[in-house]
Amino acid sequence: MERMFPQITKTWNPVKGCLHQCYYPRGCWAYQLAIGKLKGSDRYKDGFTPRLIEEELNRNLGKNQFIFVADMGDLFGNWVPTEWITKVIDAIKRADPSNRFLLLTKNPKRYHMFTHAFPPNVILGATIETNRNLRSLGITCAPDPIERYDWMRVLPWKSKAVAIEPIIDFDLEIFVKMVRDIDPEVVWVGYDNWHCGLPEPSLKKTLALMIELEKFTCVVKKTIREAMENEV
């Protein structure tokens, strides 16, 4: 399977599924994969319903890997039992310390419950597609981007990351300030790959954003293209 982030060397899904109900016309890529290509497999026979996959907790993850944890769900969604999260963190601690682990959520408020438990080789990331209100646009039931920003900004953790994907139209100065306040070590930027008709910024505007972000952090380009709507 193609990696969501090019630096990732391994994906690991001890927990799968998501209930954020992002209302893209064709849903998120992980949802489509779970109800489509993977539906015949044992662990996805119930589609995208959240589930702890116990056998994954004892998987040998190797050494010197950059591992994306739960790319087929949101480990820190409000529906995930605390016990599941604790089991995953314990498994990370048992893994070889040469590995780095990326956690990515649309509910970073929940990170604050576990900062005492995370090992130092974990990167805590949040998806923040824009500075604007998405719930009012009917795009998602996840916490709004400004709420995610607030929790990431005050998160007492050294290694943080931001995923601006799928990028949605934004206000340049406000959005740059938000990302700078979070102080991430890396930011991924990319357009929607599923032709969902999102309110996208122009390519010119996205390139201007990346130029500003590169002044204070590492920016990794994902899918960068012309917007599918008229330039704004």
DSSP assignment of 166-217 equals: S-----HHHHHHHHHHH--SEEEE---SS-----PPPHHHHHHHHHHHTTTS
Q: What are the sequence ranges of the domains in the chain?
A: 10-221
From 78, 90, 91, 156, select the one nearest 117 (Cα to Cα): 90
3-state secondary structure 112-153: HHCCCCCCCCEEEEEECCCCCCCHHHCCCCCCCHHHHHHHHH
Query: Average model confidence (pLDDT) for the chain?
Result: 90
**Residues written for the chain:** 232
Question: Is there a cis peptide before residue 166, judged by omega within 30 degrees of 0?
Answer: yes
**pLDDT average, residue stretch 186-202:** 91
DSSP state of 12: E
pLDDT tier, 3 (very low <50, low <70, confident <90, very high otherwise): very low
**pLDDT average, residue stretch 197-216:** 96
Taking the CA atoms of 193, 202, 25 and 110 in sequence, report the sign of the dihedral they define. positive
Give the pLDDT confidence score for residue 139 in this predicted structure.
82
Question: Considering the chain, what percentage of its residues have pLDDT values greater than 70?
Answer: 89
Give the pLDDT confidence score for residue 157 in this predicted structure.
98
- Dmax over CA atoms of the chain, in Å, equals 50
Q: Yes or no: say if 76 and 110 are a contact pair by the CB < 8 Å rule.
A: yes
pLDDT tier, 111 (very low <50, low <70, confident <90, very high otherwise): very high
Coil, helix or strand at residue 50: coil
Identify the residue with better confidence: 7 or 23: 7
CA distance 70 to 74: 6
C-alpha separations of 127 from 46, 61, 94, 95, 148 in Å: 26, 25, 27, 25, 8
DSSP state of 73: B
DSSP state of 85: H
Q: Is the pLDDT of residue 86 over 70?
A: yes
Segment (H or E) for 218:
strand 218-221
User: Taking the model in full, what pTM does it have?
Assistant: 0.91
Residue-wise pLDDT for 119-134, tens only, equals 999 999 999 999 999 8
Give the pLDDT confidence score for residue 136 in this predicted structure.
78
Considering the domain 10-221, what is its CATH architecture?
Alpha-Beta Barrel (3.20)
Give 3-state DSSP helix, strand, coil % of the chain, rounded to 5: 30, 15, 55
Both tokens of 104, joined, read 């990515």
**pLDDT average, residue stretch 179-188:** 97
Ordered strands of the 122-127 beta sheet: 10-12, 66-69, 100-105, 122-127, 160-164, 186-189, 218-221
Give the pLDDT confidence score for residue 23 in this predicted structure.
64
Q: Is the pLDDT of residue 1 over 50?
A: no
Both tokens of 43, joined, read 């662990």
Residue-wise pLDDT for 21-78, tens only, equals 776 545 566 666 656 677 777 777 776 788 999 999 999 999 999 999 999 899 999 9
pLDDT tier, 135 (very low <50, low <70, confident <90, very high otherwise): confident
